[in-house]
Structure formats: C-alpha cells, structure tokens
A and B are shown apart, each in its own frame.
Chain A
Amino acid sequence: MSRRIRVVIGKPGLDGHDRGAKVVSRALRDAGMEVIYTGIRQTPSEIVNTAIQEDADIIGLSILSGAHMKLCEKLLKLLKEKDINIPVFLGGIIPEDDIPVLKEIGIKEVFTPGTSLELINNKVKEIVLGE
C-alpha cells in the first residue's frame, strides 16, 4: 500500500466556528488523505503534541477570531524548540497585510475566505511532497 498523507487540522484559540475546518477536513479526506481533526479550543501546544504523536505530514490551522498572529507565533516556536519540521498552513479571516508577516515567520500558505477546496487540496499535496 502506498504512503498516505496524514494531516492534522487544528482549531487553536477559543473560536468555535468550525465550518471551514470541517469542510476542508472532508475535502482532504475525499482527496485521499488521512485527516486527524483535533476539535475546537486547542492550545498551540496541544496541536503540536497531536501532530507529533500522529506523525503528521502537515498541520492546518483554522482561525477566524483575529488571534492568528499570537497563536501562529506560539505554535511555530514550539515546533522549532522541539526541532520538529512539520509544515503549517492557515485558513480563516486573515487581513491582507498580515499575510506576508505570517509567511515570514514560517507559515507555508494562507487561505482566506473564497479559496477553492481544489486549490487547498493541491497546495497541501504540493507542500508535503516538496518536503
């Protein structure tokens, strides 16, 4: 059997709007990936631990509350501290001028509302296979 891409989808912070996280989870599953969804209200450290235990190929975060800067910084810092190289992408309501900053600190890709599922599927595959 061929290797399957394992994705951890996390919702850090307190925001409970999980439509995006669930719809993307289903799309990734329907594209043949194994999706581990953490559920809402996870701390960055819980998400990192999940990704470690599950040997995730990639982590996807969904944040709509505006807390993305702090949460992403924290999560990336944790990965770095533990010397773990798992790429991270982000989806949600993210103001335009935050995107370059997020990419600079290490977020691989940012998807804002209106992004097609096909594009997300392809980008995820591209990032994982490129690692």
Chain B
Amino acid sequence: MFRDEELKKIKDERELWHEKVVKKAIERFPERKEFKTTYGDEIKRVYTPEDIEDLNYSEDLGFPGQYPFTRGVQPTMYRGRFWTMRQYAGFASAEESNERYKYLLSQGTMGLSVAFDLPTQIGYDSDDEMSEGEVGKVGVAIDSLADMEILFNEIPLDKVSVSMTINSTASVLLSMLIAVAEKQGVSPDKIRGTIQNDILKEYIARGTYVFPPKPSMKIIDDIFEYGSKNLPKFNLISISGYHIREAGANAVQEVAFTLADGIAYVESAIKAGLDPNVFGKNLSFFFNAHNNFIEEIAKFRAARKLWAKIMKERFGVTDKKAMALKFHTQTAGSTLTAQQPQNNIVRVALQALSAVMGGTQSLHTNSFDEALGLPTQKSATIALKTQQIIAYESGVTETIDPFAGSYVVERLTKDIEKKAMEYINKIDEMGGMVKAIEEGYVQKEILNSAYDAQLKIEKNESIIVGVNKFQLEGEEEPSEVLKIKKEVEERQVAKLKKLRETRDNEAVNKALEELKKAALNNENVMPYILNAVKVYATLGEITNLLRDIYGEYNESVLI
C-alpha cells in the first residue's frame, strides 16, 4: 500500500516520536498495565502504515458486493436498504406471542424472530415429564400445528419474513411453518425467513441437541435437499457463532469455530450430492456483537473474507452469491449486568453500532433487563428504538464500510483471519469439526477463554461498570420483570389433551408409521414430517419416534 521509502520515513519518525515524546509522557503519566485483544494479542499504542505493509487493496478488500466481500456483501449496503431490524421474541403460549409480534410489527420491526421454549427446542410435548416447569418460559410453547396457526394468525407469511431459533427439531417446526403458510394461501416458494438449524454449535455451546452428530447431520442434509427445491427464498441454516461467543469464546474462536461448523455442513451436503453453488446461497450466519468495539468491526470483516475464500478455494464454488457471507447479529447477552440494569441500554447501543459498522444484514438488540429475566414490553421497545436511532439519526449508514483503511482495523482484520485459519487447520488435522466436538476439544478451548476472562474480572484487570467498579451505594430499585404465570403450562397441557382427543388419530398413526419407515430406510424425512404435521401429530410424538431410531447424544466434558 505504501512505497518503501515512505515506510522507512514513517518508521524513523515513529521511533523518534517514541524516544523524544512518548517516553517523557509515560514518565509523567504512566500507562495502564495491559492492553490486549480478547484473543491475547498485544494492542499497540498507535498503528501506522507500517502495520498494514502487507495489505493488498484488491486482494484483501476489493469493493462492496465483490469478492472477497471484506467491505460488505451488497454493492450499496445501507444506502439502499437498512438491515432488517429483527427482534427475537416469544413467550408463554401462541396467543400471547402472536399479540407481541403484532405489536412489534406496528412499531416498525421488519421481520419476526421466534423464540421457542425449551421443550419445543428439544422435542418434548408440554405434557411430557421433562417439560415440567419449562413450558413457555424462554419462548413460546408449540406442540402442534394448531399452536402454529395461532402464532401466525393475521401475520401474512408472504410479506413478513420469519426467523426461527430452532435446531434439533428444525425439520418439524419448518414443516409447521410451511403448513400454516399453505393454509394462508401462500405457496412455499413465497415464504422468506431463516431456520437456525445449526446443530453443531448446540453440542459446543447451547445444549439443545437430541440425536448424536451423525443422524443430526443427516437430517440437516434432508432439509437442505428439500429446501433447495421448494423454499428458494428461505435461509436453510444460520451457522451461529453467537452462542459460541456467549459460552466464553474470544473473537478469533468465534470466527474459527463458526466457520469450521460451516465447513462441516458444506462437506456433508456435498457428500449427500448437493451442489454448493446452489445451497451455498441459502446459507447464512449469525454472530455476536460484543464489547470491544474496534475488534468487533474487524471480526465481522475477517469472517466475511475468510468464508469467501473457503467457499472459492476449498469448495471450488464459482457463483459469487454462494461465497458471500450474509449474517444476522445479536448484541452480547452475557455482557448485560444485573447491577444498574439501565446501563445495559448503552452497552447494547455500542455493540449494535459495531455490528452496523461491520455490515450486518439483520440485527437483534437485547433488552436492558435480560440479566434479570424475560424482557417486558417497555424494555423490548427501547431495544428496537436503539436500532432506529442508529439507522436514522447517527449518519453512520451513509458511507459503506467506513472503517476501511483504518490502520488498526485493517491490522486486526488480517490478524483475526490468520488466527482463525490456524484453528481451522488444527481442526482439519483432528479429522474435522464433528470429531473435535466429540472429543471435547472445542468446548475445552472455549472454557479456557471463559475462565481466563472471569479471572481478569476478579482481579480487576477488566472493569465492568457497576460490577467491579463504580458500584452504587445502597439498595437498587428492583426492576420490573416479566413473569410467566403457572396457568400457561396448565392451559397448554389442557389444550394438548383436547387435541389428542379430537384429531384424526388413525391418520396420525399412519403418518407416523410412514415416517418411521422412511427414517429406517434412510430416505429424506422432510416430506414425511410435513405429512405428519398436517394431520396434527405433535412435536413430541415425531421427535420421540426419531429418538428411538437415532438414539440420544451424551456429551464429553473436559474441564
């Protein structure tokens, strides 16, 4: 980027500046002790052209919408259309959630993001013993198509895009969505949205797995195959680094493990006979927007660049659209504090800003009270307004990739790319991501980072305002939190009981029997699940049937 003589001059001047100016300044005003990235690299006092000596504009950056997509996946980015403001929501039963969705849509939210309760995510009906106490708690409880019909009542599925955080039971919930759309008169090729469908990070970080990795990957291939043919506007997977970061990973690990998961999915799909040029376009990613503003911007850029290279060089993809890493972002839930919760509004705003600077395609901003419990309508509204203020008032959306060319951002972008690639190589050597997960390697790496970060807080090497510094004296006013009433579970169980009595049970048994045969014969299970869902077979019935065939996963934990 710079001529040699110019670099030489800068070096000389920098050394002189250090000798004559910095040293004296440090004597009078000593610096704080340690300056490090989350992945342990020294952060310099100042970055200069010397630090981006190895940067090649055309190869490393290019232009927005062009390979390697470092500067963004669309040519006009936010000048054409803002990111999708997509707030993750869902609680209690389908009725309450439907009401919240309609409210959010009226307030300017652009796409829905459905939070399911844990029994739904793990494939237990609300009346299952395992579901006790969990129904409707962290999301909405869905037992059958009947609940799904209520959830999307008066929400036109050809207009509103729907993202669903659902993984091991994604095939069932996706089938329910298709069935509801059909009932609304919307054909499958018109529905837009995303299913998370990322099972590998469930083994690593989030824990809603059901089956062992092999059959789980097989189901994902089934969804890819079915979706590539029937759901052209739908993202069939959201490969998620979000939860990996929440589990304690640093920025490099977030990029590395997410992309390594991505590689595993692409390999598996290719093995199953799918064309990466086709399904590559239906892949999307999901990242975390954490505290370190500059590092985070570099992280998003590095991830985009690295994925484009992987798709092109490793998988020989030729279609540019299948190389572009599109991603959703959520601000980091684990950075929210229970102490002085209103401070969280500011944390969320800064994190959201880094995601926008990093070129996100959609964004969820957390509610300030999430360290205390489920968000209230008031706190959820502030979270959404935060995004609107960034979009409409801050002016940061007018220039694409505004931090490009910043010495530090470009340096960190290259460093994160390189270090993430080192992890990916190591995982390749181990025999791939599934193996690395089964052996507990990935989980252990993350735990090491999480533990170190925690110790830094305890030694006051990292400061969290209101927690280990600037605490408020005396009692804080308790914040209002949303409580899910006991009746929700009772109501849901009663609803389910009634459904089992009134549906055509013969049709249910027949559909389940056919699904069983298909699963045993290694056929694509999607069409059979769709049939079962349509006759109101429950989520639990379908998942338990598959549980019997595929078995359940037991994790390996290394501490």
Contact = CB atoms under 8 A, between A and B. Distances in A.
Interface stretch (A8-16, A78-86, A101-109): A8-16
A25 to B, nearest CB: 6
Interface in A15-45: 15-19, 22-23, 25-27, 29, 35, 37, 39-41, 43
B202 A43 contact: no
A67 B137 contact: yes
B130 A23 contact: no
Nearest to A16: B207
Nearest to B91: A66
A5 interface: no
A71 B131 CA distance: 11
Contacts of B464: 114
B555 A40 contact: yes
Contact of B373 (A18, A25, A27, A66): A66
A71 B513 CA distance: 35
B138 A39 contact: no
A70 B134 CA distance: 9
Contacts of A35: 559
A130 interface: no
Interface string B417-457: 00000000000000000000000000000010011001101
Contact of B207 (A29, A40, A71): A40
B478 A97 contact: yes
Contacts of A116: 457-458
A49 interface: no
A118 interface: yes
B246 interface: yes
Contacts of A19: 205, 246-248, 334, 447, 450
A30 B372 CA distance: 29
A107 B408 CA distance: 50
Interface residues of B, number: 49
Given A114-B337, A114-B464, A13 B481 contact: no
Interface in B503-557: 554-555, 557
Contact of A117 (B137, B339, B374, B458): B458
Given A22-B557, A95-B481, A117-B458, A43 B130 contact: yes
Interface string A53-76: 000000000000111011100100
A39 B206 CA distance: 13
Interface residues of A, number: 36
Interface string B117-149: 011011010000111111001100000000000
B371 interface: yes
Given A26-B559, A39-B555, A113-B337, A17 B133 contact: no
A122 interface: no
Given A19-B247, A37-B557, A40-B207, A96 B372 contact: yes
A17 B246 contact: yes
B22 interface: no
Q: Which of A25, A66, A114, A118 lies at the interface centre, i.e. has the most chain B CB atoms within 10 A of its CB?
A: A66
Given A95-B372, A117-B454, A118-B458, A41 B207 contact: yes
Q: Which of A19, A25, A29, A113 lies at the interface centre, i.e. has the most chain B CB atoms within 10 A of its CB?
A: A19
Given A22-B559, A41-B122, 9 more contacts: A15-B207, A16-B207, A19-B246, A19-B247, A19-B334, A26-B559, A66-B137, A69-B133, A97-B478
26 contacts: A14-B118, A14-B119, A14-B124, A14-B134, A15-B134, A15-B207, A17-B206, A17-B247, A19-B205, A22-B450, A23-B450, A26-B451, A27-B454, A29-B559, A35-B559, A43-B130, A65-B134, A65-B138, A66-B137, A66-B484, A67-B133, A74-B133, A95-B373, A113-B371, A117-B455, A118-B458
Interface of B: 118-119, 121-122, 124, 129-134, 137-138, 202, 205-209, 246-248, 334, 336-339, 371-374, 447, 450-451, 454-455, 457-458, 464, 467, 478-479, 481, 483-484, 554-555, 557, 559
